[in-house]
Amino acid sequence: MVAGWLRRRFGKRPDSSGGLRLPDDLWQATLDKYPFLDRGDAGDLQRLRSLSAAFLDQKEFFGAQELEVTDAMALAVAAQACLPLVNLATGDDPADALRWYDDFVGIVLHPGEVLARRETQDETGVVHTWSEALTGEAMHEGPVMLSWADVDEAGESAAQGYNVVIHEFAHKLDMRDGEANGCPPLPPGIFGARSAAEARRRWLETLNAEFQTFRDQVQAAERFAGLVPAPWMDPYAAQSPDEFFAVSTEAYFVSPADLQQQSPALYELLHRFFRPSADR
């Protein structure tokens, strides 16, 4: 289903500003289904609504395997994808923050997990192939793929810090500068840094230290099963710094109190990026 379909269903705003008008009942149903969307103040919620409408106006949705994408499904994705952007606008228009996502248009929804064929070549030249079950995937300058089953259950899975939409769109933020390394482009002056290079260095010092601690915890829990508790966050975060950033971002938005309790330094790092006012 494409944006034209959404425009016909939602219609234009009365002021003909070019955006979509979200029906009140549909917006409220989305907030009721995904309570973590409404944790900020009234201004945050209004910005999220404006961002979600603009997102739907700019993006195209496609249902795979004959999945029919409804208004509620599209808005569920839009609202969760826009949650990290609520305080990232640089001007008066909240939709300005959507520049973070302007490298793609398409969003593909699958009914459930997708088996993806993977291939790699080792140092001896031997090619290894395997299948990997995916609930989502984001490609640099390409579309985003999501499992609707996981999106649909995001309200329940928030207690575990899990959210596939925020995870994949965190990768989009990370890849904004062309490289997935756990460090998105940072705003000027973050951490009081005098240069972009200094800000990046400070960010990576903290992120990589937290990543190493987390990876050690995961390895200890696997090695001494039943004796050493597993960390609270999804152990998939131990794969690489970019996955650590994406998983941490999920937790920051859907279960912030747990993240702050378990990893105060990591919480503070993300807070300074996603809530720029915290740095002033």
**pTM of the prediction?**
0.89
Provide the residue type at 56 as one letter: L
Residues 6+ apart with CB under 8 A from 124: none
Give the chain's domains with CATH numbers.
1-177 (1.10.472.150), 181-280 (3.40.390)
Q: CB 26: neighbour CB atoms within 10 A? A: 13
Q: Which two tokens stand for residue 138?
A: 């984001």
- pLDDT tens sequence across 27-86: 999 999 999 999 888 999 999 999 999 999 999 999 999 999 999 999 999 999 999 999
What tens digit of pLDDT does each residue of 93-103 get? 878 899 999 99
113-157 confidence digits (pLDDT tens): 876 664 565 677 655 464 567 889 999 999 999 999 999 999 999
Q: What gap in Å lies between CA 138 and CA 145, rounded to an integer?
A: 6
R_g of the chain computed on alpha carbons: 19
